Every structure is written in C-alpha cells, then in structure tokens.
A and B are shown apart, each in its own frame.
Chain A
Amino acid sequence: MSYGILSFGAYVPSLRLDRKAVFEAVGWATPNLRGLASGERSVANWDEDAITMAVEAGLDCLADTEFSVPHICMASTTFPFSDRSNSGLVADALNLQRSIATEDFGGSRRAGTSALSRALSNNESSLMIASDCREAQPGSVQEMNYGHGSACVLLGEGKPIAEFLSSSSEHEDLIDQYRANGIEYDYSLEERWVREEGWLKIAPEAMQGAASKAGIELSEIDHFVVHGNGGAVAALSKKLGIERSRFADDLKAICGDTGAAHPFLMLSNVLSNAGAGDTVMLVGFGQGVDALLIKTTDHLTTGRQGRGAERFMARRRATSNYTFYLSLRQRLSLDFGLRAERDNRTALSAFYRKRRDINAMIGGRCSSCDALQYPKSIICVSCGASDSQVEESLSGLTGRVKSFTEDWLAYTPSPPYIYGNVEFDGGANVMLEFTDFEPGSLRTGDEIRLAFRVKDRDEKRKFHRYFWKPAPLTRL
C-alpha cells in the first residue's frame, strides 16, 4: 500500500461536429476561421452539462475499483449551479458514501490542476474531477477550438498507477481570456501576446520549479501535458529545447479544448498510452501556471484497462449539421411548438424524499422473492411482501430494449423523443427516456447502459433536473 493516483477516467461526448461544417456555415462572415476548419470538436448533447460529464468520467474511473471515496472535488468554469453543490450531486449520482466531503473549484481553467496539486502535496484521498462545457459565440474562434469533456483521477492509498513527485505554481494576472459573471462567452486577447508573455515566460518557471523539487532535469521528463493554443506548445518546445514528440496530443483533432478539464483529459490520454516508470509533467495555465510531476508505476498497465481514451474514442457520432449543434447548445431558438411550453417545475420537497432514488437510481430488491423493482415501493410488486425491499442501485446495470418508440409529437430538444421499456440484467423493467441514439438506429433487443443526464429544464425557474437514461452500450 502506498499513496498516489489509483485510477483515472475520462469522458468526451459522443457527438462530434465537423469543423469544416462550421466554416461552411459561417465562413462567409469570418474567412479567418478557414485555418481552424479541420478535425472534429466534441459537442455535449442537449441533456449534458459539466455535472453529467463529471459523472461519466467518475463512472469510468471508479469501474472495477474497491476504493471508498472520502472526498470528491469537482473543478469547472461552467458549473450548472452557482449555489447548489455540483460535486455533491456528482457524488450522489456515483452513489458514493454519504459521509463524504464535497468541494467545487472554479474561477479559472487552472482550478483542477491547482486543487490536484494541493491534494497530492498533502496525500489527500480524493476523487478529483474536472469537467467543462463552455459555450462559444457562433462564428467565433472559440467555437472552432473548444470542445466539451471531462476527466478525473482518484487519489488514495492502494496500488497507485502513478506516484506524485512534485509540484510548483506561479500566479500572474495575465488575462489571456476572461468571462465575467453572468456572461455567456469568453473574451480572448491576442494569441501572440499570450504566447510571448504568458506561455514562454510564466510556464517555464513553474515547470522548472517542479522539476528542481523532484531533482530531475526537464529534459529527462518523458511526457509533457501542455494544453496551450496558438502555437504555444511549439514555442515552448523550442524554448525549452525539448523535442515536440514528448508533448502530449492536445486532442484538437478529436474533441478540442475542454477548458478546466483539458489538462486532465490530456493526462488520461497519456496514461492510456504511457509505459511504466514514465515521468509525466502536467501543466495548468490561466492567470499563472501549475506544474505537477508524476511518475507511473508497474500497476499502470493493469489499472488502465478499458478506461479513458479507449472508450471515448470508440463512442462517436459524427455530425456536419451546424444548426443541429446550435440548437442543441441553445445558440439557436427553433420553434418547437406548444408542447415545449410544458411547465417543468420540480417539487423540491418531493425530490428530497426521493433524492437517492433519482440521483443514484436506487431501486428495491425484495428480500422475500428477489424481484428488483424501480422505483422501490413499500409493497413488493411481485410477491406482495411489505417493507421487504433492500436498496440497490440500477445505474451500473446494462439491459435490453423490450419496446420503444420514436415519438415526433412529444417535445424534446433533439427530436424524435425516444423512450421505451428496458429489461435490466438485474431483473427489473423500467420505462425510460433514451439518449444519444440516432433516429432509426434502435431495435428491440439492443443492449443499453445508463447515463446520468438532464431530464428536464425548467426554463421559468432556471432549474435542471437529472435522471438516468439508456444510452448505446459500446463494448470494447
């Protein structure tokens, strides 16, 4: 038993928008975007946000682990709630123990690396998730560069896949970009200035600082996780005299810059491919720099099976439909008719009574007849026994589609509204709303997994409620 990074996870939404399609739609007004119009960016579905993506990364990280998580930390610049514990909801959805400390970190794209630096320095046991779902103004450079995603690491005592060596931080109020409270979009400054004054002056200090603390030379480090745009990585490589191949893939081709999540996401990709005993430097940038140095262990190759990049590369739905993307992300207001006027007020006292049933999809398994049922009830649906049900979460179950429809009458931001009966491998039957299925692709008998998603948005009161939805099961 020793302390370190025990596991990691990552999530990139399956929907990938072809950047050429963006350029074809907006290039008449912004011909300068032509140079960015290659590859794909990830797009959160209408029912995804920083919380749901954080849950996905957490599920990926915690699968097949036996670790009891005493602390959860979520870092983001796009928390769905400013006052309601975002990490707390993620903890609930992951069905973590109730005696858990929850912390939300925001205010900077560096929030995740700063929190990680502190936790690792203090040998804290924690699930540290970074997740960001930044919107971008149509026709902007950010629209091209940004993507949505999340990633996380699990810290604690056990068989670490990587050990912490050192970290160093620098603060400088260099405002390369900012987003004031209540404002939708980032305001960015000239990339050359950010590169020259920021990346090339502040980053080397922190990177050198971390390396010195660990007693190694920067040139000895195997992987650099640096997420800068506009040639920052190339310039840094040149300045530090470190060959470009040691800088990790910035994932621009498959998902784009995921903000606070990006250092973690790039790290997850490195961990998916690195060898045992490799040193990895993780850099976070934004009004300063965090540099963290870790070293992978022999447990890496077994601990990473089926996690991270392998999964999000396999889950992919390509689209070239720019207005579809705009509408999903509420950048374009289509007329969805009278049914979209439905009042989605949530009775929060009723929700509180049923919070675990909803957040962790806790059903009941009858101790008399073994029938699993959702929702759980006082009286068993199968044998009629009273007060016999033991709580059991369905969220990790897979299942098969028993019946379904593609409904063009019901309102959904992504028609058709697909829903149906699912028979779970644990034995329950539940009628559920589906997500991430292409119209016309679903068949009875198809296998599904469950994804934590926004169920409804209450536009009047600006509340979102969440629940679990069947999504395509990708077997790796």
Chain B
Amino acid sequence: MASGIRDKVAIIGMGCTRFGERWDCGPEELMVEAFNEALTDSGVSRDQIEMAWLGLFFQEQSAGKSGLPLSMGLRLPNIPVTRVENMCATGTEALRGAVYAVAAGACDIAMAVGVEKLKDTGYPGLPERSKGTFDDLWLPNATAPGAFAQLASAYQAKHGCDSIDLKRAMAHISVKSHDNGLLNPKAHLRRAITEEQAMNAPMIAAPLGLYDCCGVSDGAACAIVTSVEKAKEMGIKDMITVKAMQLAPSNGFEMSTTDWDGSYLQTTRIAAARAYKEAGITDPIKQLDMTEVHDCFSVTELVVMEDLGLCEEGGAIKAVLDGKFDKDGDVPCQIDGGLKCFGHPIGASGLRMAYEIYLQLQGKAGERQLDSPSMGLTHNLGGHPFRNVASVSVLGLHSE
C-alpha cells in the first residue's frame, strides 16, 4: 500500500535569482545564479548531485528543448537531466521529479531547476503560441488575462455579488502583494500601490485591469533534495521536508460538460484534497501558516482561497477585505509578493514558491519574516480555468 511522500524527502538547499526584466542575463546566467546559491546553501558539492530535472515552459523562445540547456549551462558531469513542462505548474513538476527520484531510492541527491527567459520574446505579456493543430481550428485565441477574467464574471453570476465589491477585493489582493513585494529584495515589482490605483487602472481583459495582472519576468530557482535518512547522516538540523506533492490536470469536465459553472477551479480543489490527505491536514486554516498560491491574476487568488478551503465558498470577498490573508492575517498569502510582485518566470515559479516557504520555515526571510511558521503550501495553476494543470505542495518542518 502506497504511503505517499510525506516526510520522506528533505530540501537541503535552495536558490532563487532576483526576478524581473533581466536584460543582461540569458537562461544560462539565470540558471547558474540560482544553482550557485542552492549549492552553497546545501553544503554538498556539485559532483554529489546524481540526477536533475529542468522545468522550462516557453522553450522555443529561450533555452531550447530537452535537458540540454541545464546540462550544458551548468556543465554537469553527464548525469541524467529530464526536461519537464506542465504549463505554470512546470517548476513544481521539476521538483516533483527530483523528490520522487530520491523517495524511490534511485539516487541520494537530486536537483530541480526551473528557469524562464520571457523578456527576449518581445512581448510585454506572455508570448503568443500555437495551441496545436486541432485546437487552433476552433478555440479562441485567448490570452491568460482573458481566460482568467471569466472567473470573475462567473463568480459574480453565481454568488450574486456586487461588481464593485468584487473589484475592491481584487484590488485589496494586489495592494497586499505590492506591500509584501516592497520588502523582498528579489522581487520584480517593488512599489506600493493604492486601492484606487488598482481599481482605476487601464483595462486589460474586463474586469481585470493592469494591477490585477502579475508581472512577466525572467528568473530561475533551484532546489537540492535528499532523503530524510541521508539528511540526518549529513547532520542537518531543523530539516524542511516535503509533506505532500499533488498534481491534478483537467480531463474535459470544465470545458466540455455543463456541470462546471466557471466560478471555481475544479483541479485545485482535487489537488488540495489529495495534498491535505497526504500531509495529514484536516483544518487548513489552523494548520497552514502561510500559502504561496498562483496569483497570476487577482481574481485567481480570490477564488483559490475558497478552493483551498481557507474560507467558505462565496465568502472570499469578505475574507479578503477582512485581511485574513494579509501579512498579519490568519493565513498570510504571498508574503514574498507572489506572482504579482515577485514575478512570474513560468518554469521557475513553483520552485520560487517553495523557496519562500523554505526561507520562512528557517527564519531566514529577513524583513518579511513571519512569526515562526511550521507549515506552508504552494499552489500552481497552469493553463486556463477551463483547462489546466493544478499542483498543490505542502512543505513543513520535519516531524518524526
């Protein structure tokens, strides 16, 4: 009987570049920067790393396909490198590969690197891409903001809420993330904004304005993992272990049936339920000390609070406006600024979220340090609400 991943694998080193418009860096420089920080942090030597996973999404525009960009960029000693790609869950998917390899006993030490070089594409937002030969024949050429904006119209229709209240709650989310990002030296956007600015910003895809959308950034992040046994041998104290790693891709339920009303994220609910079970979480509001969720757009974060069980269904507007997810709230969300302000280099984002929790659990988060957290959650949503890949991970202080 499978027992899940809980407390089997320890994260022993992490690194993350400054996210942003890194005009002076290509994917190679970004990967090396994140890797060097992680390697120093872990205390292992580069030769001890036996397997690696590379997370990279818009491969055509940046580094190229396959595991080669990582192997070549870091001059790795011909160890296996697997490139994974699962839309915005790519970074977490890379980590999952490394974690599972160690848990399976295939190797002692494995590494995950996520990288994205978006600012060479020429696009201010995410670049255009083909949806494949059939989907291009019928699916709208939707942009990410347009696809996620529909969460708002469907949420409003379902719960009968006032559009101004909804817009204000969305603005609150963005203001909060900007305040948090201000304290993070690695964040892409480090500037406070006001609720009025957020509510009156130019419209991108109604009702999402400019400040409802996350940054599009360059960046890389890296994690080095080993088994709990090996970590003990290495004498690591206050070990950070993986409590759960779950993934739920859509199967057509949302886009092809009439059972989904468009107001929530079905896959996030499924991945969260599995992750809570795997991690032994029965009361997420009490047991989770922080979350790093996929706030690609303010409205995504709003509905995700419900989908993760951090507030009741239909109650997100009130919970957000009451500050439940602010820095000093019940379960702080995006203490590092989130996708909104830390930035969103697709392939690196899942690992960036893990990086923040890793720092917070060790008390190393500097000015933005929370008061002794012991468990945190990361969440990614790759794709669009009607068809996506959701990942939910739980990381925490090791418990025997």
Contact = CB atoms under 8 A, between A and B. Distances in A.
Contacts of A449: none
A346 B140 contact: no
B181 interface: no
A298 B261 CA distance: 49
Contacts of B151: 403
B349 to A, nearest CB: 20
Given A375-B134, A431-B386, A444-B154, A407 B258 contact: no
A408 B204 contact: yes
A374 B150 CA distance: 20
Nearest to B259: A382
A423 interface: yes
Contact of A429 (B142, B143, B206, B255): B255
Interface string B238-269: 00000000000001110111111111000000
Interface residues on B, range: 35 or more
Interface string A315-356: 000000000000000000000001101111011001100100
Contacts of B255: 421, 429-431
A439 B203 CA distance: 13
B281 interface: no
B146 interface: yes
B157 A465 contact: no
Contacts of B143: 407, 409-410, 417
Contacts of B252: 373, 377, 381
Q: Say whether chain A's binding surface is mostly helix, strand, loop, or mixed.
A: mixed
B128 A431 contact: no
Nearest to A419: B140
Contact of B150 (A342, A354, A404, A427): A404
B145 interface: yes
A428 B138 contact: no
Contacts, number: 140
A467 interface: yes
A188 B136 CA distance: 41
A445 interface: yes
Contact of A421 (B122, B137, B146, B262): B262
B58 to A, nearest CB: 15
B153 A403 contact: yes
Contacts of A342: 128, 141
Contact of B153 (A351, A420, A431): A420
B154 A403 contact: yes
A443 to B, nearest CB: 9
B262 A465 contact: no
Given A381-B253, A416-B206, A346 B138 contact: no
A404 B150 CA distance: 5
A420 B157 CA distance: 14
B23 interface: no
B253 A402 contact: no
Given A403-B153, A409-B143, A409-B204, A429 B137 contact: no
B150 A421 contact: yes
B125 interface: yes
Interface string B317-331: 000000000000000
Interface in A421-439: 421, 423, 427-433
B109 interface: no
B133 interface: yes
Nearest to B254: A429
B137 A407 contact: no
A465 B135 CA distance: 12
B262 A411 contact: no
A402 B262 contact: yes
Contacts of A420: 150, 153
Contacts of A358: 137-138
B119 to A, nearest CB: 13
A455 interface: yes
Given A339-B128, A346-B137, A430-B255, A407 B146 contact: yes
B139 interface: yes
Contacts of B253: 381
Interface string B203-215: 1111010000000
A122 B282 CA distance: 80
A405 interface: yes
A433 to B, nearest CB: 4
Nearest to A444: B157
B145 to A, nearest CB: 6
A371 interface: yes
A381 B153 contact: no
Given A350-B133, A358-B137, A381-B251, A405 B256 contact: no
A295 to B, nearest CB: 45
A427 B258 contact: yes
A403 B150 contact: yes
Given A408-B204, A431-B140, A373 B257 contact: yes
A433 B131 CA distance: 15
B149 interface: yes
B206 A406 contact: yes
A462 B122 CA distance: 25
A407 B204 CA distance: 6
Given A403-B157, A421-B154, A429-B256, 17 more contacts: A354-B134, A371-B257, A373-B252, A373-B257, A377-B252, A381-B253, A402-B157, A405-B149, A407-B204, A408-B203, A409-B125, A410-B141, A410-B142, A419-B140, A420-B150, A423-B258, A432-B138
9 contacts: A347-B133, A403-B150, A405-B146, A405-B147, A407-B204, A407-B205, A431-B139, A444-B156, A445-B157
Across the A-B interface, give the 3 residue pairs with the lowest CB-CB distance, nearest first: A407-B146, A350-B133, A403-B150
Interface of B: 122-123, 125, 128, 130, 133-134, 136-143, 145-147, 149-151, 153-154, 156-157, 203-206, 208, 251-253, 255-263, 386
Interface of A: 338-339, 341-344, 346-347, 350-351, 354, 357-358, 371, 373-375, 377, 381-382, 402-411, 416-417, 419-421, 423, 427-433, 444-445, 455-456, 465, 467
